[in-house]
């Protein structure tokens, strides 16, 4: 998590997906209750070393490593958190203090901490004890995540277990103390949540995620007969293609084959970032290929595509759209479509925190091509990357600074418009403000949170029936 994102979270405060904990010298049970509730609901972010009001008090530096190790151990202990779930806590230095950030993705399973199921309601972790409520949680998750579908007749001999040494090596390159290194094959498969229970048919077995990640080619084709990714390069012969491969194997090797195809046909460009030489081509391909493999809807009969043309490249794939339209940094609200597959890719270093791919592509594509990527989320998700072989990363750096200034000016204008609307109509709703200004409701909420944090506006009365008061004019960037 970068400092700007951290500061925005501190300003907004606790929500359904944000939780602050003092922690002190250790993570207490209530931290793991929140982990459990986030896994069961929409996911979220926990900050240890922060009070409920958003004040950063920090954690003793000599306790940080032990706390992180304890979080990893507890969340991987099925006797405590069941099913277990591997998390990657990170220490962040802020205002001469150290805090710990825990990103918790939405899980496709129902979890319990110390035998108790927790759900998230507003800013609280709620115990769920009713049989009907718990059953509804299972049904809700099975309806959302088709990767959890259990195939009871799939056996270990149907999987490419010969890939597990490579997987352990990839995990170790990301974390030398990764728990998978000391696990047996069966323990690794269960830790990765590739074995599930179907609570509708009361069966246990390997799920769709296991088949896609590790299945033998014939097994994958039997279960997902339309599964394939077409990779096509057409720069000269635009009516057909100059080069083409059809990828129909497991996701581990599919990733490698598609990356190699992109490297073969795209120019290499480098950029110096914090004294580190960054390969922009590899950064972009990592996010692009990871996205088309992780977030697609595999039950669809539509194959995925990776197309490279003279002035652009794009991927498109079947998608279970939760939002519709163009995704920007301002309206970004990431939701994992296949959280088991996403978590697996994260463990082996082929994906990062949910939402980081969009931010990275905006950053690196601008340096690589001088323009922004386009994320179009509909029933077919399309990601388009503009290409310009003659564009220099140094031009991109200059253009990026100009774009940032333009974005800041646009943000300031939106804040001023909001202040004007609040002054003219103190009872105006967020939806009305969004329609008046022409931005998303989520962007309006971000502006309001920042304006409130800067004591420029305040809310009087309840959410329904209350009103706004403008205290002062804003001269700050509110993004």
pLDDT tens column, 27-45: 888 899 999 999 988 888 9
∠472-474-476 over CA atoms, to 5°? 145
Residue 145 has pLDDT above 80, yes or no: no
**Euclidean distance between CA atoms 146 and 52, whole angstroms:** 37
d(Cα 295, Cα 355) in Å, to the nearest integer?
Answer: 12
CA dihedral 436, 438, 440, 443 (to 10 degrees): -80
Q: What pLDDT, in 10s, does the model give residues 279-327?
A: 999 999 999 999 999 989 898 888 999 999 999 999 999 887 766 788 8
The count of residues in the chain is: 479
Domains of the chain are 1-141 (3.30.950.30), 223-395 (3.30.565.60), 409-470 (1.10.10.10)
**pLDDT of 144 above 80:** no
Q: What's the mean pLDDT when you consider all of the chain?
A: 86
Region of 67 on the Ramachandran plot (φ > 0 left; ψ -120 to 50 alpha; else beta): alpha
What per-residue confidence (pLDDT) applies to 431? 79
As a whole-number percent, the residues of the chain with pLDDT over 70 amount to 92
Partners of 113 in the β-ladder: 81, 116
pTM above 0.75, yes or no: no
Quick one: DSSP state of residue 237? Answer: -
- Alpha helices of 111-195 — where are they, by DSSP H? 131-144, 164-174, 185-191
Neighbours of 55 (CB within 10 A): 12
Closest by alpha carbon to 419, among 441, 440, 450, 460? Answer: 450
High-pLDDT (> 90) share of the chain, %: 41
Half-sphere exposure of 387 (CA within 13 A, CB side): 20
Q: Are 112 and 137 in contact (CB under 8 A)?
A: no
Please provide the DSSP assignment of 320-359 as one string: --SS-EEE-TTT-----SSHHHHHHHHHTTS--STTHHHH
pLDDT tens digits, residue range 165-218?
A: 999 999 999 889 999 999 999 999 999 999 987 766 778 899 999 999 999 999
Q: What is the C-alpha R_g of the chain?
A: 23
Nearest 5°: phi and psi at 404?
Answer: -65, -40
What is the distance between the alpha carbons of residues 331 and 180, in angstroms, rounded to a whole number? Answer: 36
Q: What would the pLDDT profile of 99-129 be if each residue is shown by its tens digit?
A: 999 988 878 788 999 999 999 887 788 898 8
Is pLDDT at 415 greater than 60 in this prediction?
yes
Please state whether beta strands 229-233 and 304-308 pair in parallel, antiparallel, or not at all (unpaired). parallel
| Phi, psi (degrees; rounded to nearest 5) at 442 | -65, -40
pLDDT classification of 476: cutoffs 50, 70, 90: very low
């Amino acid at each position: 998590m970068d400092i700007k994102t951290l500061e925005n979270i501190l300003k907004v405060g606790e929500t359904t997906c944000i939780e602050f904990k003092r922690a002190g010298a250790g993570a207490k049970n209530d931290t793991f209750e929140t982990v459990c509730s986030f896994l069961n609901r929409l996911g979220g972010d926990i900050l240890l070393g922060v009070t409920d009001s958003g004040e950063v008090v920090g954690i003793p530096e000599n306790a940080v490593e032990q706390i992180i190790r304890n979080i990893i151990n507890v969340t991987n202990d099925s006797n405590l958190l069941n099913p277990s779930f591997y998390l990657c806590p990170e220490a962040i230095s802020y205002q001469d203090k150290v805090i710990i950030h825990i990103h918790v993705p939405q899980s496709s399973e129902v979890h319990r901490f110390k035998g108790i199921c927790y759900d998230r309601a507003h800013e609280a972790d709620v115990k769920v004890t009713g049989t009907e409520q718990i059953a509804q949680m299972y049904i809700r998750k099975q309806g959302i995540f088709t990767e959890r579908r259990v195939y009871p007749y799939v056996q270990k001999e149907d999987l490419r277990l010969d890939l597990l040494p490579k997987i352990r090596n990839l995990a170790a390159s990301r974390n030398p103390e990764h728990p998978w290194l000391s696990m047996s094959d069966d323990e690794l498969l269960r830790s990765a949540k590739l074995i599930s229970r179907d609570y509708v048919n009361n069966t246990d077995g390997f799920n769709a995620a296991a088949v896609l990640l590790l299945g033998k080619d014939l097994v994958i084709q039997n279960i997902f007969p339309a599964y394939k990714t077409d990779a096509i390069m057409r720069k000269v012969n635009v009516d057909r293609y100059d080069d083409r491969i059809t990828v129909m194997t497991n996701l581990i090797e599919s990733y490698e084959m598609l990356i190699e195809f992109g490297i073969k046909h795209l120019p290499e460009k480098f950029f110096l970032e914090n004294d580190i030489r960054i390969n922009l081509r590899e950064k972009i391909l990592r996010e692009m290929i990871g996205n088309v493999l992780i977030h697609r809807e595999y039950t669809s009969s539509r194959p995925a595509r990776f197309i490279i043309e003279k002035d652009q490249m794009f991927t498109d794939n079947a998608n279970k759209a939760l939002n519709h339209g163009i995704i920007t940094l301002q309206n970004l609200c990431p939701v994992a479509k296949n959280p088991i597959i996403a978590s697996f890719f994260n463990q082996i270093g082929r994906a990062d925190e949910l939402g980081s791919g969009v931010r990275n592509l905006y950053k690196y594509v601008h340096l690589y091509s001088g323009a922004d990527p386009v994320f179009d989320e509909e029933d077919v998700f399309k990601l388009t990357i503009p290409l310009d072989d003659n564009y220099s990363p140094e031009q991109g750096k200059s253009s990026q600074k100009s774009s940032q200034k333009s974005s800041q000016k646009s943000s300031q204008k939106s804040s001023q418009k909001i202040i004007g609307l609040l002054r003219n109509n103190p009872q105006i709703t967020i939806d009305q403000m969004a329609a008046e200004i022409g931005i998303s409701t989520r962007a309006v909420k971000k502006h309001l949170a920042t304006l409130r944090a800067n004591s420029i506006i305040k809310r009087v009365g309840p959410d329904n029936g209350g009103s706004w008061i403008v205290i002062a004019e804003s001269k700050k960037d509110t993004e």
